[in-house]
């Protein structure tokens, strides 16, 4: 299998959009990207908007050519906003998180609007929760809905296993570093070669993320590493909103190195330098000024 991360926080936008190419199928998970509305009291910089536009264009291009679309939950960094044109999803087969059950109010409403739009482009929609399907030579398995990070009020997400040709990839969605054991079970059971993981939400440490939750996350991630089934841990998303992310997970990085497991951002996995635009937003304003401002 060929795994390509199309957009991610380490690449400049809030996203976990991933393209998985097998011998017979092209599958995209979570075809969305967004920007943090406020950081350091600042709105997104113009450079962030430009990156967002580039990522959305790439996602739409690749999705239009994909055989299958998977949507793990209804946050706008994982699927299109209501005002966006979704003609690129016309006629697509779409497996998605149950829009009615195990879902909070805001995501239920977003899902309804999205499903109404999908009908207009003749998309073929199927609820995916806890299901196993065979698709063009792939085995695709979905977890039961697991808690979004450390707060059930944010709803629930699906973890996705794609298996083909003896290789296994899991996309963990927004588990925020596996702060709950229930989020970890799917990984330990199915033992992927590659795990695309949303890392702990360290940029909110001491606010909406406690030291105890951080310890749980590192403990759980260490357990994954020490089981010795992983080749690559692609850790990104919430973690990459913190410029000090490597320091935060130093114990994990050291353990992985000793066991021969690669732990790297989506950007590094794709061969790019990390570009944490949201985490650098204050720097962007100081260095480049506001759009239209005199420097």
Residue-level pLDDT at 26: 98
Distance CA 96, CA 114 (A): 11
Q: Residue 119 has what pLDDT? A: 97
pLDDT, tens digit only, all 295 positions of the chain: 999 999 999 999 999 999 999 999 999 999 999 999 999 999 999 999 999 999 999 999 999 999 999 999 999 999 999 999 999 999 999 999 999 999 999 999 999 999 999 999 999 999 999 999 999 999 999 999 999 999 888 999 999 999 999 999 999 999 999 999 999 999 999 999 999 999 999 999 999 999 999 999 999 999 999 999 999 999 999 999 999 999 999 999 999 999 999 999 999 999 999 999 999 999 999 999 876 544 3
pLDDT at 291: 66
Cα(261)–Cα(203) distance, integer angstroms? 25
Q: What does the block give as tokens for 147?
A: 């808690």
CB atoms within 10 A of CB 62: 18
pLDDT at 295: 33
Q: How far apart are CA 10 and CA 260, in angstroms?
A: 23
- Rounded CA gap, 1 and 19, in Å? 10
Note the pLDDT of residue 204: 96
Alpha-carbon Rg for the chain in angstroms: 18
Q: Kindly report the CA angle at 32 between 27 and 34, in degrees rounded to 5?
A: 155
What is the residue-wise DSSP string for 149-190?
TT-GGG-EE--EEEEETTEEEEE--S-TTT-SHHHHHHHHHH
Structure-token pair, residue 44:
């997104």
Our CA angle for 167, 226, 267, nearest 5°, is 60
Domain map (residue ranges) of the chain: 2-282
**Residue 163, beta-bridge partner list:** 139, 168
Indicate the CATH number of 2-282 among 3.40.50.620, 3.40.50.1100, 3.60.15.10, 1.10.10.10.
Answer: 3.60.15.10
């Amino acid at each position: 299998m060929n795994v390509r991360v199309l957009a991610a926080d380490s690449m400049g936008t809030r996203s976990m959009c991933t393209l998985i190419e097998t011998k017979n199928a092209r599958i995209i998970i979570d075809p969305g990207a967004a920007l943090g509305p406020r950081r350091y009291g600042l709105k997104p910089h113009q450079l962030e908007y430009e990156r967002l536009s580039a990522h959305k264009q790439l996602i739409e291009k690749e999705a239009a050519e994909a055989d299958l679309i998977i949507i793990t939950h209804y946050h706008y960094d994982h699927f299109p906003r209501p005002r966006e044109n979704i003609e690129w999803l016309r006629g697509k087969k779409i497996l998605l998180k149950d829009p009615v059950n195990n879902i909070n109010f805001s995501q239920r409403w977003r899902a309804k609007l999205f499903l109404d739009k999908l009908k207009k482009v003749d998309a073929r929609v199927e609820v995916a929760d806890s299901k196993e399907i065979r698709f063009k030579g792939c085995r695709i398995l979905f977890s039961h809905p697991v808690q979004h990070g450390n707060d059930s009020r944010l709803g629930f997400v699906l973890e996705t296993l794609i298996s083909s040709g003896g290789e296994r990839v899991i996309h963990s969605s927004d588990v925020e570093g596996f702060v709950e054991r229930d989020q970890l079970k799917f990984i330990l059971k199915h033992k992927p070669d590659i795990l695309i993981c949303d890392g702990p939400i360290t940029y909110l440490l001491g606010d909406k993320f406690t030291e105890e939750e951080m310890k749980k996350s590192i403990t759980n991630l260490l357990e994954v590493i020490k089981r010795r089934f992983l080749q690559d841990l692609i850790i990104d998303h919430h973690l990459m909103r913190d410029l000090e992310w490597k320091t935060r997970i130093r114990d994990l990085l050291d353990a992985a190195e000793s066991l021969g497991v690669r732990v790297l951002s989506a950007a590094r996995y794709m061969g790019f330098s990390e570009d944490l635009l949201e985490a650098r937003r204050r720097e962007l304003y100081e260095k480049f000024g506001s759009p239209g401002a005199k420097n």
